[in-house]
Amino acid sequence: MRRVLAGFLAFTAITATLLILPVYAAPSPTPKPVEASIDSVALGSATAPEGEAVVTTDGEVVAAGELAPVTPEPSAAPPPVEPAPPAAMPSTPTAPTSAEQPAPASSGDEVPGVPALTVSRPETDVFSTVGVTWSLDGPVSGVTAQVRVKDKSGKWGRWSDLEMEDAAAVPAADGSLPAGGRGGTAPYWTGDAYGIELVLQTADGSTPQDVQLELIDPGTSPADSAPGKPTARDQAQAGMYMPGIYSRAQWGADERLRTWAPEYAPTLKAATIHHTADRNTYTREQVPEILRATFAYHAVSLKWGDIGYNVLVDKFGRAWEGRYGGLASTVIGAHAGGFNTGTFGVSMMGNYDVVEPPRVMLDAVAHVIAWKLSLYRVSPHGTTTLTSSGGGTAKYATGVSVNLPTIFGHRDVGSTACPGRYAFARMSYIRSTVAAMQSNIGLYEPAEVWTRSADQSVTRVHRGNPGDVPLTCDWDGDGRDTVGLFRRGQFILFDSNSPTAPITAAFYYGNPTDIPLCGDWDGDGDDTVAVWRGGQFFLRNANSSGVSSTYFAFGNPTDAPLAGDWDGDGADSPAVHRDSYFFWTNSDQQGVTDGYRSFGLSGDRPVTGDWDGDGADNLGVARAGVFYLADRTAGQPYDYLYYGNITDNPVAGDWDDAGTDEIGVSRGY
């Protein structure tokens, strides 16, 4: 019986500096998920090599393991051979057969005297990305991995070093890593390759166990060469437009590989700059392939369950959606071991330890960061304190607090060259460009709800993040409405508006793009959740995941959904607002219009509540900081109240168990 237009942000008109920022276009050809192929080659370890792997020192094959010398098996005596006739001509030498053992891999640049795990595979199925992974059962550091690949013509390329990847998978609540999580190198884009050699060493004498060579073919798609316009969108209020970002669908993400359930930080504090540390020679058409390969390597080979970076930017100045969970949200990535929470990882595609990053790339990076930081009132020239969770290549142990710039490089917190010396030298340029882009817009209000009780007292509820949708209801039946959140398909509920109130329920119901509502659908005294999707209401009589208790069509897809107890029977039912009209039904089973009224102007923001305490809900609209509250019966007088800013969104609820609903506003979402 306490209602709020929870989903109003989806169709608010633009006023003052309030903007709703969908970015959409229909690409042609239509992108589709592309299945990647991963060939995992088991190599064992330097103490117990497996398969085709051998152990070498200074390029020469040696015995593997301290207690496991390799003793050659005696070969059988060769069968007698008839001597060749004296007049026979010398035979033409033949190429080695596939059964012959290739020479051991050697780059000529190994660490002297240190055993190396090596493999030579002159013939493979085509792949275009390589990485090396190992078990996290024991401490491993100082890994050097060198590879070279063979092209289609049979020519071997130059040896390349692979950077060590952060063991940056997000730990569980108890601090443990996901089951089976692995360490490894960063993925390295080779382009189409048909053979590979690897030399793997550790400078500190540690021995990686269960080493695997990962050869990835990301597949191709007609959409790779023509992705169209960026279609990634995230509902957000902003004083600057969300930059064009290509969606996961546009680069062909196969969402079947994603096993990680999104987790969110309380807020965003900083942006972290990275590079992918692979080749700089890629073409525009190859970028989606590189993204699919990186996704497959992070999600499957390293077992992170998703790509680690939040956004990736190519050398052509195009930004691409990375981590699933919302571009405007605080979704936690896996990009900077120990410092993933509260940061936003942007990675430049290529190796910027060897070349300068292009200006168009730097500007695109700055644009993405300017938009993202503006959502959370973060200054690009400021500093913030982050607390390390340790692990990976983190420079700081668990629990150590570090003061950092709000835009920092990965090397500031990790033992790595990332984002490369040339990119790191441009950090000041990125910060200044971000500041210039933000200079004309100011920064956001924090995400919060302001309530005004019957005694005129005001409560400020700072809860959630930009991109969340607030909704107010009586979740526990105590007579008081409290602020809950809807975050891309997840409801997060609280039984108090106290700033220290714990979460009392968090569950998924509906789709990320649904509009959330709440009401007492069954009249039992407790409000429960619902979603509106394209003209249909899906009501649930429990605050938990599960199927809808009932669903039906009511209204048009472009209407604004509402809820209220329209006949005073103690149970809520749906309504819609269209232009200046309210339409409601007294049923939670079927979409039959039981009443309607025109009130307000087209473009007003609707709100409903029991203004007079008679047990039935009434109508209201908010317009430029003024609330207009009325009865459902046409011709009755209305009240008006000044409250909030012109860009605020209206909410309502019984904040103090007074028996009547009072007004409130939300801002910053």
Using one digit for the tens of pLDDT, what is the confidence trace for 228-247? 888 776 644 444 567 899 99
pLDDT at 31: 78
173: which 2 tokens? 């609540």
The order of strands in the sheet holding 639-642 is 605-609, 618-623, 626-630, 639-642
Confidence band, pLDDT 50/70/90 cuts, at residue 14: very low
CATH of 40-60+101-217, one of 2.60.120, 3.40.50, 3.30.70, 1.20.1050: 2.60.120
Question: For the purposes of burial, counting CB atoms within 10 Å of the CB of 20, is it exposed (0-12), middle (13-18) or buried (19 or more)?
Answer: middle
Q: Determine the pLDDT at residue 71.
A: 36
Side chain identity at 353, as an amino acid letter?
A: D
Quote the pLDDT of residue 441.
57
Stretch 420-428: mean pLDDT? 97
Instruction: Order the strands of the 595-598 sheet from edge to edge.
Output: 560-564, 573-578, 581-584, 595-598
Res 505 pLDDT > 50: yes
Residue 13: CB atoms within 10 A of its CB come to 10
The residue among 84 and 44 whose pLDDT is bigger is 44
Residue 168 has what pLDDT? 54
CA distance 603 to 580: 8
- Inform me whether the pLDDT recorded for 12 exceeds 80: no
Pairing of strands 319-321, 245-246: parallel
In this structure, are residues 189 and 129 in contact, taking their beta carbons and an 8 Å threshold? yes
Task: Using the predicted structure, report yes or no on whether residue 574 has a pLDDT greater than 80.
Answer: yes
Query: How far apart, in whole angstroms, are the C-alpha atoms of residue 505 and residue 167?
Result: 31
Q: What is the model's pLDDT at position 236?
A: 45
- pLDDT at residue 164 greater than cutoff 70: yes
- pLDDT interval class at 66 (50, 70, 90): very low
**For the domain bounded by 8-17+445-667, which CATH number is listed?**
2.120.10
CA dist., res. 159 & res. 150, Å (int)? 11
Q: 25 pLDDT exceeds 50?
A: no
pLDDT at position 81: 40
Share of the chain above pLDDT 90, in %: 59
For the cut 60, the answer to whether the pLDDT of residue 617 exceeds it is yes
Domains of the chain, residue spans? 8-17+445-667, 40-60+101-217, 222-438
Query: Taking 70 as the threshold, does the pLDDT of residue 50 lie above it?
Result: yes
Kind and range of the H or E run holding 9: none
Query: Can you give the pLDDT at residue 240?
Result: 55
What pLDDT does 585 receive? Answer: 95
First to last CA, the chain: 24
Q: Do the beta carbons of residue 413 and residue 404 sit within 8 Å?
A: yes
Model pLDDT, residue 188: 97
Contact 66, 47 (CB under 8 A): yes
317-341 pLDDT per residue, tens: 999 999 999 898 889 999 998 999 9
Res 384: pLDDT:
95
% of the chain exceeding 70 in pLDDT: 84
Q: Please check the confidence at residue 388 and state whether its pLDDT lies above 70.
A: yes
Give per-residue pLDDT as tens, 67-101. 333 333 343 444 444 444 433 333 333 333 334 45
Q: CA 519 to CA 471: how far, in whole Å?
A: 10
Q: Average pLDDT for residues 193-203, to the nearest whole number?
A: 93
Q: Which of 91-105, 305-319, 342-356, 504-518 has the lowest mean pLDDT?
A: 91-105
Question: Model confidence at 227, in pLDDT bands (50, 70, 90)?
Answer: confident
Q: Report the pLDDT averaged over residues 115-136.
A: 95
Q: Are the CB atoms for 290 and 189 separated by under 8 Å?
A: yes
Q: Which residue has the higher pLDDT, 165 or 158?
A: 158
Q: From CA 397, how far away is CA 390, in angstroms rounded?
A: 5
How far apart are alpha carbons 211 and 145 in whole angstroms? Answer: 12
Q: What predicted TM-score, i.e. pTM, was given to this entire model?
A: 0.63
pLDDT for 536-560, tens place per residue? 999 999 999 999 999 999 999 999 9
CATH number assigned to the domain covering 222-438: 3.40.80.10
Element (H, E) at 483: strand 482-487
Decide if pLDDT at 450 tops 90: no
Mean pLDDT, rounded, of the chain: 84
For residue 219, is it left (φ>0), alpha (ψ between -120 and 50) or beta? left
Q: What is the pLDDT of residue 93?
A: 36
What is the rounded distance in angstroms from the CA atom of residue 114 to the CA atom of residue 209?
16
Residues in the chain: 669
Give the per-residue pLDDT at 74: 40
pLDDT exceeds cutoff 70 at 343: yes
pLDDT value at 23 more than 80: no
Residue 112 scores a pLDDT above 60: yes
pLDDT for 233 equals 67
State the average pLDDT over residues 652-667: 91
- The answer to whether 38 and 215 are in contact (CB under 8 A) is yes
Q: Cis omega (within 30 of 0) on the bond before 29?
A: yes
- Residue 467 confidence class, pLDDT cut points 50, 70, 90: confident
H or E segment and range at residue 636: none
Give the DSSP letter string of 74-121. Answer: PPPPPPP-PPPPTTPPPPPP-PPPTTSPPPPP--S-PPTT--EEEEEE
Query: Do 222-438 and 8-17+445-667 have the same topology in CATH?
Result: no
Position 266 pLDDT exceeds 70 = yes
pLDDT at 175: 46
Side-chain half-sphere exposure of 390, counting CA atoms within 13 A: 7
